[in-house]
Amino acid sequence: MGVGFGGNAVFNRASPSSYDACVARIAADYLSNIRRPPARVLDIGGTDRGFRSRGGLPPRAQVIIANPERGVGADFDYVSSIGPNVEGFDLAMLFGVMMYIERAPLVGLMRDVRQRLRGAGTLLIAEPDPEGVLGKAEVAAKTIYAAVRSLWDPTKFHFHSKGETAEMLREAGFVRITERPDLTPNAMKVTWPPPQPRYFVVAATV
């Protein structure tokens, strides 16, 4: 997937999955009242250093990672690699991944995730916000960083705004879309100075 997809700290400092307090809040909101424990989480693009390693998860919670990069502790390369007989998920997370995927395959991924959720399962998206002055500066910084890091084959970014994300979620069949800015490390004030770029967080259910 390219520079940063495997949990690169250059890009992930502002991700909710980088902080125990944020993970605990996510677990409390989306995993505490499931009907069929243990809780099952699909972490798309995650690593062993991310959500799976944080405190605050319910006892016996199962975090399955889908990430094609080597050495990140993934269980599957892609969501599409997960067999149809694998049990569904209560929460799917797409954190800092959309920027690497064009719109059409991204809608396809969202649709695939929707079909793998069980019960009142939720797809939770957290993505660097490309809008505003700081967002545009971050877009430029990422593009330059990728070009310098790999001169011959730089990572191609596809930045998606919060509004575009909501449109894609509806196209993928999600009905209830809720903004969750309270789940960011900036809102929870878990570190200082506030990490940049700011992420937007959106929760989607069927």
What is the helix, strand, coil percentage profile of the chain, to 5? 35, 20, 45
Q: Give this prediction's pTM.
A: 0.87
Q: Which CATH superfamily is domain 9-130+158-205 in?
A: Vaccinia Virus protein VP39 (3.40.50.150)
Cβ atoms of residues 95 and 15 within 8 Å: yes
Residues 6+ apart with CB under 8 A from 6: 47, 67, 69, 71, 72
The residue extents of the domains of the chain are 9-130+158-205
**pLDDT tens by residue, 38-51:** 999 999 999 998 89
CA distances from 135 to 32, 153, 198 (A): 33, 24, 8
Mean pLDDT of the chain: 86
| pLDDT tens track for 99-157 | 989 999 999 999 999 999 999 999 999 999 988 646 555 655 555 555 455 555 556 78
* Mean pLDDT, rounded, for 26-33: 95
Asked if residue 168 has pLDDT above 70, the reply is yes
More confident residue, 7 or 152: 152
The confidence band for 9, taking pLDDT boundaries of 50, 70 and 90, is: very low
Residue 8 predicted with pLDDT over 80: no
Whole-number Å distance between alpha carbons of 16 and 95: 8
Q: Band of the pLDDT at 54, cuts 50, 70, 90?
A: confident
Residue range 165-185: average pLDDT?
97
